[in-house]
C-alpha cells in the first residue's frame, strides 16, 4: 500500500514538474518584440502601454523600455533590444527627427519597425520598406476641440463673455514644440473657432510639454497677470488641462459661479471625472486602446514575417500609416470614452 502511494506521489510530482517546464519553454518560444515609450509618466502613453501589454498576453514576449524623455537613452535601448534578438521594434520616439537613426539600426538588423504616437516625416518613413506608423490625423483633434469651444461658447456666451466684447480672450497650453500633434492642434482649434464666426484674442500661449505640473506653473503666472480677463483655457492635451484646473481651483475658481471653461485632448479617465463634475467642458478621445492594439498587431505580424495587416481590421493610408480616429467627448456622451477604458 505504501509502495503504491509512493509511486502515485512520484507520478503526480513528475506531472506538475513537466507542466511547469512546458509553460516555461512555451514562454521562451514566444516571439520577442522590443518596445520603447518616450516616458512612462505621460498620462496618455501610460494607457497605450497597458493596451500593448494586454494585447501581447500569451502571444509575445515584450521587452518594454521607459526612455525617460531622453533620445540618447532610447537609442541605447534599441541597440540592447536588437542584441537580445527581438524580431520587431515598436518605437514611441522621444524626438521624431531621430526616426532616421532608428531606421538605420533596424535596417542593419533587417528588422521591421512600427513607430507610434509620434510620427516621423513621410519621406523618412518611406525610406525603409519595413517601417510603418500607428497614430492619428493630428488636425482632426484640433478641429473637434474647436467645435467644443464654439458650441459651448455659443450656449454660455452671456456668462462667459466677461467684458461683453463678443470675442473669446483665451490662453493656450501647447505641447512639445515641433511635435505634429501640438502644432496641428494649436492651429486648427483656433481656425475652427474663427470659421464659426467667433472673434478671438490670444492673451498668452506657451509650451508646457504635455505636463500637468508645468501647465499649472504657466497658469499660475497667467492668472496673476491677466486675472478675470481669461475667458477660456485651451490645452493641447488632458494632462495640461488638469494642470490648468488645479491652478484655477487654487486661485478660487469653480465655486460661487466663478468659472473658466477648459478644454483638452485625450479623454483620459482622470479628465472624464472632471467633465462629469462640470469642471472641464470637453475633450477629444485619443483612443489609447486601439493605439495599443494596432501597434501590437502590426509589430506581431511583421515579427512573424506576415503581411503587416494580415488578420486585422486596420487599414494603411498613402503614408504607410494606420490612423486611429478621434471622437469628440462632452458630458453628453461621456459613456463613449468611459467604455473605451473598460
pLDDT by residue, tens only, the chain of 342 residues? 444 444 434 433 433 333 322 222 345 579 999 999 999 999 899 999 999 999 999 999 999 999 999 999 999 999 999 999 999 999 999 999 999 999 999 999 999 999 999 999 999 999 999 999 999 998 999 999 999 999 999 999 999 999 999 999 999 999 999 888 999 999 999 999 999 999 999 999 999 999 999 999 999 999 999 999 999 999 999 999 999 999 999 999 999 889 999 999 999 999 999 999 999 999 999 999 999 999 999 999 999 999 999 999 999 999 999 999 999 999 999 999 998 887
Please check whether residue 7 lies inside any domain of the structure.
Answer: no
Please check whether residue 169 lies inside any domain of the structure.
Answer: yes
Which three cell numbers, joined as nine digits, stand for 114?
512600427
201 and 96 together in one domain: no
55 and 124 together in one domain: yes
Q: Per residue in 39-69, is it b (16+ CB within 10 Å) or e — as a string?
A: beebbbbebbbebbeebbeeebbbbbbbbeb
Spatial distance between the Cα atoms of 215 and 207, rounded to a whole number of angstroms = 8
Domain CATH number, residue 218: 3.40.50.2300
Spatial distance between the Cα atoms of 145 and 191, rounded to a whole number of angstroms = 11
Residue 39: domain span: 29-136+287-324
176 and 111 together in one domain: no
164 and 293 together in one domain: no
Please check whether residue 342 lies inside any domain of the structure.
Answer: no
281 and 143 together in one domain: yes
33 and 165 together in one domain: no
- Say what the pLDDT of residue 43 is: 87
Please check whether residue 60 lies inside any domain of the structure.
Answer: yes
Count how many domains the chain has: 2
CB 270 within 8 A of CB 239: no
Please check whether residue 191 lies inside any domain of the structure.
Answer: yes
Which three cell numbers, joined as nine digits, stand for 159?
456668462
Task: List all residues 6 or more positions away from 228 whose beta carbon is below 8 Å from its beta carbon.
Answer: 162
208 and 233 together in one domain: yes
Spatial distance between the Cα atoms of 342 and 335, rounded to a whole number of angstroms = 10
Spatial distance between the Cα atoms of 325 and 116, rounded to a whole number of angstroms = 14
111 and 124 together in one domain: yes
- Say what the pLDDT of residue 81 is: 98
| Nearest CA-CA partner of 321 in 139, 86, 118, 38 | 118
| Nearest CA-CA partner of 296 in 126, 49, 74 | 49
Please check whether residue 2 lies inside any domain of the structure.
Answer: no
Please check whether residue 81 lies inside any domain of the structure.
Answer: yes
Amino acid at each position: 500500500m505504501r509502495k503504491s502511494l509512493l509511486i502515485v506521489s512520484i507520478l503526480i510530482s513528475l506531472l506538475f514538474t513537466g507542466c511547469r517546464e512546458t509553460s516555461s519553454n512555451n514562454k521562451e518560444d514566444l516571439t520577442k518584440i522590443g518596445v520603447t515609450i518616450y516616458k512612462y509618466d505621460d498620462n496618455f502613453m501610460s494607457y497605450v502601454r497597458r493596451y500593448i501589454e494586454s494585447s501581447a498576453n500569451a502571444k509575445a514576449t515584450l521587452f518594454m523600455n521607459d526612455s525617460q524623455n531622453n533620445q540618447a537613452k532610447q537609442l541605447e535601448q534599441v541597440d540592447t533590444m536588437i542584441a537580445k534578438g527581438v524580431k520587431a521594434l515598436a518605437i514611441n520616439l522621444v524626438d521624431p527627427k531621430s526616426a532616421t537613426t532608428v531606421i538605420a539600426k533596424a535596417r542593419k538588423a533587417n528588422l521591421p519597425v512600427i513607430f507610434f504616437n509620434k510620427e516621423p516625416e513621410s519621406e523618412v518613413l518611406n525610406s525603409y520598406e519595413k517601417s510603418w506608423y500607428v497614430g492619428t490625423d493630428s488636425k482632426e483633434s484640433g478641429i473637434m476641440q474647436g467645435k467644443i469651444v464654439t458650441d459651448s461658447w455659443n450656449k454660455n456666451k452671456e456668462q462667459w463673455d466677461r467684458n461683453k466684447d463678443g470675442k473669446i480672450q483665451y490662453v493656450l497650453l501647447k505641447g512639445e514644440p515641433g511635435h505634429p500633434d501640438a502644432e496641428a492642434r494649436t492651429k486648427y482649434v483656433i481656425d475652427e473657432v474663427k470659421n464659426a464666426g467667433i472673434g478671438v484674442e490670444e492673451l498668452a500661449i506657451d509650451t508646457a510639454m504635455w505636463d500637468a505640473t508645468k501647465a499649472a506653473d504657466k497658469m499660475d503666472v497667467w492668472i496673476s497677470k491677466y486675472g478675470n480677463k481669461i475667458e477660456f483655457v485651451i490645452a493641447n492635451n488632458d494632462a495640461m488641462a488638469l494642470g490648468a484646473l488645479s491652478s484655477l481651483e487654487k486661485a478660487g475658481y469653480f465655486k460661487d459661479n466663478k468659472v473658466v471653461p477648459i478644454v483638452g485632448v485625450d479623454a483620459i479617465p482622470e479628465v472624464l471625472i472632471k467633465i462629469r463634475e462640470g469642471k472641464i467642458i470637453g475633450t477629444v478621445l485619443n483612443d489609447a486602446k486601439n493605439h495599443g492594439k494596432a501597434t501590437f498587431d502590426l509589430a506581431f505580424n511583421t515579427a512573424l514575417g506576415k503581411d503587416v495587416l494580415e488578420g486585422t481590421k486596420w487599414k494603411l493610408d498613402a503614408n504607410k500609416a494606420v490612423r486611429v480616429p478621434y471622437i469628440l467627448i462632452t458630458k453628453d456622451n461621456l459613456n463613449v470614452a468611459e467604455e473605451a477604458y473598460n
